């Protein structure tokens, strides 16, 4: 299989958030995803389940020969190895890795939907994604993500983190 460009969102709101995300990125690199770019760090308000700590988030771009389902398995294994346990949906977590895009592919299977089904409604995904890929277009709807972001209500806060300076 040839290399595919992938975009992944990583977030955490428990423990040492930055360290866990960095470990997740390192594990992705060790397991077949060559990271080629990454966004700044963003502090974001929790969504759905509001009584929990704020999240630290970023988006990475990578190249991989893993097929989409292998990539999903890899992401889930890394999450588990770094302390994620099944809990409340949208609840607190040590590490979350979401596959946003896999090349230009549109996938709808029992286990995986690409593009990520809720990314167009999530400022905490679109803001860092557009920082590293401002012209990116949704392959399913043929709309620019920048246009999708401009149509979103302000909603939850997405703040560029001061840890970008360190």
Q: The domain spanning residue 161 has which CATH number?
A: 3.30.70.560
pTM of the entire structure?
Answer: 0.90
Catalytic residue among 17, 84, 122, 123: 84
Is 118 part of the annotated catalytic residue set?
no
Say whether pLDDT at 94 is over 80. Answer: yes
pLDDT tens profile 117-134: 899 888 889 999 999 999
- In angstroms, the Cα distances linking 154 to 62, 63, 126, 151, 166 are 29, 32, 13, 9, 28
Say whether pLDDT at 166 is over 50. Answer: no
Is 84 part of the annotated catalytic residue set?
yes
Catalytic residue among 93, 138, 151, 153: 93
List the one residue out of 136, 140, 112 whose CA is nearest residue 126: 136
Is 98 part of the annotated catalytic residue set?
yes
Q: Which domain holds residue 28?
A: 4-165
Is 147 part of the annotated catalytic residue set?
no
Catalytic residue among 17, 38, 61, 98: 98
pLDDT tens profile 14-52: 999 999 999 999 999 999 999 999 999 999 888 766 678
Number of domain units in the chain:
1
């Amino acid at each position: 299989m040839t290399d595919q460009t992938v975009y992944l969102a990583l977030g955490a709101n428990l423990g040492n958030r930055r360290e866990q995300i960095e470990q997740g990125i390192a594990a992705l690199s060790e397991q077949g995803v060559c990271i080629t770019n990454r966004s700044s760090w963003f502090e974001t308000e929790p969504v759905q389940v509001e009584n929990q700590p704020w999240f630290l988030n970023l988006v990475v771009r990578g190249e991989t020969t893993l097929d989409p389902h292998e990539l999903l398995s890899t992401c889930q294994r890394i999450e588990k190895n770094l302390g994620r346990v099944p809990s409340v949906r949208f609840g607190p977590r040590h590490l979350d890795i979401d596959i946003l895009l896999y090349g230009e592919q549109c996938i709808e299977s029992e286990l995986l939907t690409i593009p990520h089904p809720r990314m167009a409604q999530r400022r905490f995904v679109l803001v860092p994604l557009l920082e590293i890929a401002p012209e990116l277009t949704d392959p399913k709807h043929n709309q620019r993500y920048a246009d999708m972001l401009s149509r979103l209500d302000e909603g939850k806060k997405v703040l560029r983190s001061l840890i970008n300076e360190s």
